[in-house]
Structure formats: structure tokens, C-alpha cells
Structure 1
Amino acid sequence: MEMIRMSNTKNLREGDVLGRDAYRDHSLVLKKGTTLTNQHIKRLKSFGIETVQIFFTMTPKNDAHLKKEEENEEEQAKEEFFHCLTKLNVEKRYGRAFNSNRAFRFTESLFVKLLQNLSTKSLLKQLKDHDYFTYLHSVDVFILGSLIGNHLDIDHLEEFTLGCLLHDVGKLNVPTDILLKPTSLTDEERIIIQRHPLDGSLLLSDYSSLVRNLTKAHHEKLDGSGYPNKLTGDYIPPDVQMLTILDIYSALTSTRSYRKSFSVPMALEMLARDTHAINESYLIELCTLLEIYPLYSTVQLSSGEKAKVVDVDDKIPSFPVMLDTTEIRIHLLPMNRKIWIDRIVKLSD
């Protein structure tokens, strides 16, 4: 059976066959199906192309061997998923969305299923080796995408979460000294890093249009301030608008090379101030999923009363201090959850 795998250009041999088109700065260098000669390999290296995808033949195995191999790969994927969770500060950053064994098993099984695709597994392995923080961020956005996609009951959940998992794969083409730079980027470095959505969509040429669009457009903003194409409003598909919020939330609540992480309440407050550029309704759905609400948002309690969030303790963010909107009275949610926040009425004044 013929499959595709990633190969470092240093390891290429004459006679290898390209499994996907090879690009340099969005210009085609060699087409898929090219049987490589030494001249081709030298050309790829001279253009600074470090990895390409090549065809290889998988030797048929008996059923028992295949079953054992599949079981081992499944266990490895589960171990990797759990390892990522230990690094992602789940207890604080996922609010109450990840508090059940059902939620854990659901996201774990989806992660294992997506990694059964050899191209996806290979791309994630490369991303992990290239920049571990980008890899963890990708898994984080995948988990958030799985949770909110399930919450909203979207009918293409697997495809959407695959796009979440691979949305930053274009950063394979960004040097790590730029990705990990602890100070501000130069204009030239910013141009390089802002190419990663397009680079990612090219790397995913064999994936669905939805996955490619999620990768290509996840930095677009409703007000046209995003990149690479400065799309506005309805020109940005709803799935992309949702991914954008998850991507920003993950980035804000994670430690970066140039800053410490923001608390979840602060991150949600920052997002709530940015609704001219992001989809407000999807942000409300994220808050509802996490059961954490931005400072100054107006909420409706299960008792029917309306209140404004006036203080959020990062240690117990699901139990904010609220002020009744009709009379000067403080609301404190009971720990036994006899009364709870039913929905957001308004994000902020």
C-alpha cells in the first residue's frame, strides 16, 4: 500500500517520489509525483526547503500484527494526550467544561482518531520537534474546539477539530529564533511569521477545503485588521470566526516567550473589549461553556434576576461577585449551585 510521509531533504535519495507539491515562498518548485534526481535534491536544498513529503510503500502485515500495532499506536496517542493535559493547566483554563470523565473520554477518543491519519501524525510530530510551545497550543485549541463544537452540536465536528489541531502547521516554515524571540519582532520578522497561515494551507493541500480555510484564515478579523487577506465580516466563514476566538483565548492564557499568561477572567475581559473584530456570539458561547464570565458583563441568574459581574476571583472564577441591576445588592452564588448563571445578557457596557 502506497502512503505519504515527511522526509528531511538531507535524507532524500535519488528515485524518491514527491507525495505533494514542494513550494518556496508560495512559488512551486517541484510538482507532486516528481521522481527525484540528485539535481532535484540539490535544488530543494539550495532553496532552503528542509522537509518534503514523499511516497513510500507499506508492507502488508497479517491481521494479528496489524491489530497489535493499532493497539500500541492507540495507547501511545492516549499517553501523548494525557501528557499534553498535564502541561496545559486544565483546571483553571477550561473552567467547568472539562470537569467530567465524559468530556475527557470524548476529546481523547477524537484525538486518537485524528492521529490515525499518517500525514496528520507526521505533521504534528514535526511541529512538536520544531517548536514544542506551538505544538501544545495546537493541542489546546483542538481540545477547546472539540468542547465548544460538541456544545454547539456542529455536524462537521471531526473536520472542524482537525482544522483546529493543524491550524498553526505553517509555523514549520518559521525559524524558531523568531517563534521564541523574547522581545518585539522587527518588521521583517513580522512579515515572515504572518506568512504561516498561507504556508499552512499549502502544506495541507491534500486535506479538505474546510481544514485548509481554517488554517489560512484563522488570523482574519471582522473589522479587516487581520491577515493575510484582510477579510471582513461575512467574508470570514463562521467556523473560522469560532477558531479565531479559541486561538486568541489559548494564546492569552498561555505563557509565551515574551510575556506571562493572563488569567482566564482577564483573557475573557480582553476578548470582550474586542468584539468589533471577533464574533460576539461565539465569545458568549465560550463563556457559557467555561462557566466563567467577563468582568462587567450582565448575566441572568437561574432565579430570573439580572446582575452585573463586578469581581472575579481567579481561584474560583465560576463563582463571581455580582451586583443586582435593579437594586444595590450583592449576589454571591451558593457553592451548592442551587442558583447559577443561566446566560449572558450583555458582555459589557
Structure 2
Amino acid sequence: MVLGQDLYVENRLLMKKGSVITARIITLLKNRHVHDVFIQTRIVETDLNAEQDGLLGVKLHEKTVVNSETENSLFLQALGELSTEIRYGHVLKSMDDILFIRNLFQRYMENSHYRKLLNTLKDYDTYTYMHAIDVFTLCTLFAKKEGIQNLEHCALGFLFHDIGKLKIPLAILKKEGRLSPSEFEVMQKHTQFGYDLLCDLGLVSIAYLAKSHHERIDGSGYPDGLEESDIPREVFILQLIDIYSALTLNRPYKREVGAAEAMAIIYKEKHLLDEKLLARFVDFIGIYPRNSIVLLSDGSHALVDNVNNMYPLLPIVRRLDTNKVFRLPFDFQLKVVKLISYYVETPEKLFQKFSEYLINGEINLMEKYYRQLMDQYTFAECFTKIYIPIYQIFEVIEQQLVMEDVRLKVVRLTLKELLNNMLLQLRSETRKNDAILFIVDQDLRTNIFIQLLEGLFYAKEINPFLLDISTSKEELLNIADYCEASAICVFCNECLDLHGTTRKLEQYHIPPEKLESFVFSFAGASHKEVNLKDKLQKYKAVTKLITT
């Protein structure tokens, strides 16, 4: 059977239309006191227009909403979509909380300026609007639990925390894939834009929430680099839930992740947030990441062994006293009541698992850890901390002949596919501020180390153009002029003779036998440590200042 209509329980969306209804789900529904649901049935397609009313028993029409109730209706609709159990866990289970958040929103919408501002945001970018509703709801209820003073005033700041994105170009807001460094600089301005906009509306007292929600406890955030003592408690709440919402909502440039996985990702950045507040937020939602040590309602302790994203409130746990592994029951007679501690999988551990599963040919697990690794790093660091190190490992495996040829070929092809996909993304999405010409022999054009070097240049916003060594001097200089290249890097046995030209070009010469060691020299470097032109100075051949 297939669910024929969205199923709401306690004013929250429990299952989406089209979900397959299994025996296990029926048990779950019974435990939630759901006694009947609508299921899809086949309709014989005759003259549907003529027989529609008779077949369905009701005339279909679009729902109309009285104008004065539009905003509230849209809010409740958005809340129904957002507050699924797989994201909200135990939140909004209480009718008192539902009424509190609804009535608060209604009061805000009685102000025509607030209403117009929110409608403008909804029309400009649907995702940002949904994110605003999501953050407003979770922040307000969590802040209420935390005893934040002047809550109704702060909640308006939660709602409008991203209002500055109205001044960010849609091409950046809706871009698929990561933002380039220059695009990210533009995106960062939304905090100041939001502050200015709220001040213009007379909301000076809450404008700091728009400005400071990307600050971090260690001073590494923006725009002001505030540290712990400068950041109010309500901002810490907003920072945390802003991240949680962004991770668990489907964004234009990144797939959403499950709530448990989101908590695990946030924990990797716990040094940037209020760690005690984070633990209380996990308890507030009631969804615990894998590797959590938790207290169960019977007083025992357990390790969260696995979490199904569809049933995150019912993880598989391992009792620490008996080592027994079981799923928490559907009737919640036994449940998790508190987080005791959480073990963070560091990037180093993630890389270890990624490389292990890659070499063992366990592609699904390899891809899982690869995605988690990619989330840890900048574009440049994806090369210095993932691709280059994995190729170093692969080189050792090839040299020591510890893997059979068939598996070796599979690993090589898998690595090549990952790298090619990354290069395609960088070529199409990265803004280039400079260019360099790569002069290579024909047999080096698809060399893996040339490709790794290409990726490093792209990641640092330098566009590498590959040219064959047979390219004439005149054609090479024309291309250099066309792409406004500042340098030439020659990967052949001899340098180029460019005497007699008027073009100022730095020339670097890296013989093919030194290419591998040059690329490997970037292994493990942080984004700031990747300075390509400094590294190239060792291979500087000629600086052309010659005029005809």
C-alpha cells in the first residue's frame, strides 16, 4: 500500500504522500494512535474530466485563503513541512508549544512592515524563507526552555536573522555547488546587510542577531571576530540552530543530511560553539548521533550504535552493562533521556576509514566517508588533505605489489572518477582571478599529477590552460594574451625560448621526473599554507622583460 495523502499527527507531518506502508510502519502508526489513513487506489482512466467527481466522490478545486489569513496559513503550511519527526524529534509534540509559536507569529504579522519584509523574502528565495521559519521555531522554543529573557523580542530577531540575503545576488544564493572564495566574500556581507536593514526599520535592539549569527566562540567568525565574552546567550542559540537547520534542509548547493548525522557534523565544530549548550540542544531535539553514550529511561547507559534517518528517535543501541544490541521500542517504554558524552570522528579518522574502504572496494561506505571528508575542507584542502595523500598511499601499494591487478585497476578507476568529478565542478564553478599556461608533452596531458596540480590552481582561483609542447611561440603568446596569463609552467625536459617577445611572463620549469615530488610537497597543507607561486619560485626559469 502507498500513502495517498500527507499524514499529520499532533499537527506535525509524520509521513509524506507516496510513502510505502509496511507492516513495521503500521505498527508504528498504531503506537501513535493512528487508526486509519488514506491510501492510493488505481483509477481506471476513461474520460477523467467527465467522471472525476463520480470516481473521487468530491469535486477537485484549489484551496483559497482569505487574504487577511494568508501569512498565517503559509506559516502553518511551512511549519507542517519543516517539523517532521525526522528533523524535530520531540520538539512541537506539545499543543502548548504549537499554540505559543503560532500566536507569536500571528502577532508579528499584524505589523505591516514585518509582513511585507517576510513576504519579500519568500518571493525572493523560497529556501531562505523556509530556513527563517525553521530557525525562528526551533530557536524560540529552545530559548524558551533555556530561560532567555525578553524572548518575544529576541524571537523576531531569530525570524529575520538572514534578512540581509535580500541583497545577495540570486546567482550566489541558488548556486549549485560550493561558493568560490570571492563568492563567499559576497555571501558574508549578508550579516551587515541584515543589520543595516533592521536598523532602518527601527529594530536596532535586535539587529545584532542578524549581524552576529556567524560569529564563533574563538573569534574566528565574521563580521567582527567576536569572542566568547562578547557574544550573548541568545546569539549562541541562534548560531547553533542556524547550522542545524542549514544541514538538515535541502539546499540548492548541498543535499540535506539526517538529524543524527547533522549533530555529528556540528560536534566536529564544537570548539567554535558553546559545547554545553550543544549537549542540551541534542537532548532538546532527542535525536542522538552514532557513537553517543546516552542514559536510558531505565537508568542504564548505552552506546548509540546506529540511527535510521526515518526513525531517528528509535536508534539501535548497545547496553554498556550487558553488551546487548537492540532497537528502542516503538511504544517508547524505553527511550533515551540524556546525552552523557559523544565521540567525535576527526578528519584524520574519517580519512583513515575513507582510504580503508576505498582500497577494500567497499564503494558505498567509501562514498559515505568521502562526502563527510569533503564537508571538512576548502577546495584547496580537498586536494592537499584527501586526493594527494590517497595517491601517496596508492603509489606505495602499487610499488609494493600488495594488491592483485584486478582490484588495483578498480581502485585506480574509482580514484580517477572522484578526481575527474571534482575537476569538472571546479572548472564550471570557480571564479578565476588569474591564469597560467601548462606546457606539456602529449603523454602528460592526462597524467594524474598534472590533474592534481590543475585542481590546486583552480582551487586558488587560477585558471590553468593545458597546451601541447608543439604549440608555436606565436600561438602560445596569443593564447597568453587572450586569457591574460601571468605565467607559464613547462613540464618538459627543456624550457621554452621566448626571446624576442614583448609579453611579460614568469616561466617555471618542472621536469617530468620532478612532477610527482612537487605535487606531493603539498600533502597535508592547510588552505593558508597552499601558496602556489611561492612553491614555484624554486623552479623559476626566466622572467621575460625583453622588448623587440
Q: TM (normalized to structure 2)?
A: 0.48
Shift of 1:342: 2.0
Q: 1:299 aligns to what SS in structure 2?
A: strand
Measured in 2, the distance between the counterparts of 1:181 and 1:78 equals: 30
Structure 1 302/119 Cα, relative in aligned 2: closer, same or farther at 3 Å?
same
Measured in 2, the distance between the counterparts of 1:230 and 1:325 equals: 42
1:20 counterpart residue number: none
1:249 counterpart residue number: 244
Question: In the alignment, which of 256, 264, 281 is matched to residue 259 of structure 2?
Answer: 264
1:348 lines up with 2:343 in the alignment: yes
Matches within 5 A, 1:169-188: 169-188=163-182
Measured in 2, the distance between the counterparts of 1:294 and 1:201 equals: 35
Q: 1:298 aligns to what SS in structure 2?
A: strand
* Contact 1:307–1:331 (Cα < 8 Å) also in 2: no
Q: 1:276 aligns to what SS in structure 2?
A: helix
**Larger relative CO (CA 8 A, sep 6+): 1 or 2?**
1
Measured in 1, the distance between the counterparts of 2:185 and 2:286 equals: 37
2:224 counterpart residue number: 229
2:545 counterpart residue number: none
How many residues were matched structurally?
279
1:304 lines up with 2:304 in the alignment: no
Q: Aligned letter for 2:328?
A: L
Structure 1 323/151 Cα, relative in aligned 2: closer, same or farther at 3 Å?
same
Shift of 1:184: 2.7
1:143 lines up with 2:153 in the alignment: no
Give the root-mean-square deviation of aligned CA atoms.
2.1
* Contact 2:148–2:234 (Cα < 8 Å) also in 1: no
Q: TM (normalized to structure 1)?
A: 0.75
**Please, which moves more after superposition, 306-315 or 337-346?**
337-346
Shift of 1:331: 4.9
Identity, in percent, stands at 33
Shift of 1:209: 4.7
Shift of 1:225: 2.5
1:153 counterpart residue number: 147
Measured in 2, the distance between the counterparts of 1:155 and 1:138 equals: 21
**Please, which moves more after superposition, 191-200 or 331-340?**
331-340
Question: In the alignment, which of 95, 104, 125 is matched to residue 119 of structure 2?
Answer: 125
* Contact 2:215–2:222 (Cα < 8 Å) also in 1: yes
1:319 counterpart residue number: 314
Matches within 5 A, 1:320-339: 320-339=315-334
Measured in 2, the distance between the counterparts of 1:265 and 1:256 equals: 18
Measured in 2, the distance between the counterparts of 1:119 and 1:325 equals: 55
Measured in 2, the distance between the counterparts of 1:316 and 1:346 equals: 22
* Contact 1:272–1:294 (Cα < 8 Å) also in 2: no
Structure 1 79/306 Cα, relative in aligned 2: closer, same or farther at 3 Å?
same
2:108 counterpart residue number: 114
Measured in 2, the distance between the counterparts of 1:315 and 1:307 equals: 21
Measured in 2, the distance between the counterparts of 1:100 and 1:291 equals: 14
* Contact 1:77–1:111 (Cα < 8 Å) also in 2: no
Q: Which runs of 5+ in 2 are unaligned?
A: 1-65, 345-548
2:235 counterpart residue number: 240
* Contact 1:299–1:344 (Cα < 8 Å) also in 2: yes
Q: Which runs of 5+ in 1 are unaligned?
A: 1-71
Q: Aligned letter for 2:207?
A: R
Q: 1:229 aligns to what SS in structure 2?
A: coil
Q: 1:292 aligns to what SS in structure 2?
A: coil
Measured in 2, the distance between the counterparts of 1:91 and 1:120 equals: 29
Shift of 1:77: 2.8
Measured in 1, the distance between the counterparts of 2:68 and 2:299 equals: 47
2:192 counterpart residue number: 198
Matches within 5 A, 1:282-301: 282-301=277-296
Question: In the alignment, which of 67, 76, 82 is matched to residue 76 of structure 2?
Answer: 82
Larger Rg: 2
